[in-house]
Amino acid sequence: MLRCSDLQKSRFTFFAQKFEESQRQTKLSTYCDTKLFPGCTGTHYVQRPSQPAAGTKGRCRMDCMFETACEAAIFQHVSKDNALNLIKNSVMRRVNRGASIFLQGEAAHSLFIVLDGWIKTYRMTPCGNEAVVGVFTKSDTFGEEAAVPDQTFLAGAEAVTEAAVLQIESEFLSKAMAEDLALCQSMLSGALHQKSCLVQHVEQLKSHTAGQRIADFLLSLCRDEKGNCTVILPYDKVLIAAWLGMKPESLSRAFRRLRLYGVTIKKNHAVIESVERLLDYADEDPAEAWSARV
């Protein structure tokens, strides 16, 4: 795996994707100014912070972001030099909450790695309802359709918090994959991992009660498998409800019922009295959970 310490003295230039004029361009915003990088063909940009970083603090933050990128699945089997080349030829973008990154049906122009914050992918139904099909955070990738030429995005993507993403252009990614079998293997491995996660999520939606789904969600945020803990809800409850396949009012009722299992919700925090007890509840026979009316 490419270590971030190997990148500290490297200068990162970013290739700017030429976006089509669309609605998402009006919503996508950046916190960094850019300027034309002289001596390059095409349209290249180098990132220039709006306000100079405060020495070590600024460098450490950038190092952490690139370390996060290096931990993405697409770099799992990739050599240090090839991974560095991919990162150097990418764009880092900061987006506001609610910013559209791409739209369902749009040409798959880029693959994205989440550096910070949370991103959701969603599909729009014919009647205009939104179905959340994925939620991603640090080191997760989305927009894998870009790895195959002439594809369109199967779902739209939107920032649900302030976020930073690394954007790798489809053309450059395809060329890199053609030259590096290990990158192809990593892309396939990442796709299989995402499929596995999606299958598990569908299983939970079909076989677990609302309370058990929430319990699974809270347990996924816990660092320990025993004792008590307090977790921060990473995004708003409307999105949590959508991701867990329920209405917001159903989520609120289920949160209240989880008090029986030692869970207390305080604004955007969940206080869990016993992780073991919540684990037992999440894993119990759903028929017993239904009979308990939770």
Alpha-helical regions (H) of the chain: 23-27, 56-70, 80-88, 170-179, 181-207, 210-220, 237-243, 248-257, 275-283, 286-291
Non-local (6+) Cβ contacts of 58 within 8 A are: 49, 52
- Per the listing, tokens 């396949």 go with 245
Q: Helix %, strand %, coil % for the chain, to 5? A: 40, 25, 35
- Per the listing, tokens 């569908």 go with 202
Which domains can be identified in the chain, with CATH numbers?
4-203 (2.60.120.10), 208-291 (1.10.10.10)
User: 254: buried, middle or exposed (CB in 10 Å: 19+, 13-18, 0-12)?
Assistant: buried
Write out the two tokens for 156: 């739209």
Contact between residue 177 and residue 128 where contact means Cβ atoms under 8 Å apart: no
Residue range 71-117, pLDDT digits in tens: 888 888 888 788 888 888 899 999 999 999 999 999 999 999 999 99
pTM, to two decimals:
0.74
In one-letter notation, the amino acid at residue 207 is S
Non-local (6+) Cβ contacts of 126 within 8 A are: none
C-alpha dist (Å) from residue 113 to 24, 74, 75, 163, 291: 18, 9, 11, 11, 43
Query: What single string gives the DSSP state of each residue in 272-287?
Result: ES-HHHHHHHHHS-HH
Comparing CA positions, the residue from 203, 287, 205, 214 lying closest to residue 254 is 214
| Distance between CA atoms of residues 272 and 84, nearest Å | 41
Residue range 168-180, pLDDT digits in tens: 999 999 998 998 8
Q: pLDDT tens digits, the chain, 294 residues: what are they?
A: 333 333 333 323 332 333 333 334 333 333 333 322 222 222 233 333 334 444 555 556 666 777 888 888 888 888 878 888 888 889 999 999 999 999 999 999 999 999 999 999 999 988 888 999 999 999 999 999 999 999 999 999 999 999 999 999 999 999 989 988 889 988 888 888 888 989 999 998 999 999 999 999 999 999 877 889 999 999 999 999 999 999 999 999 999 989 999 999 998 999 999 999 999 999 887 766 555 554
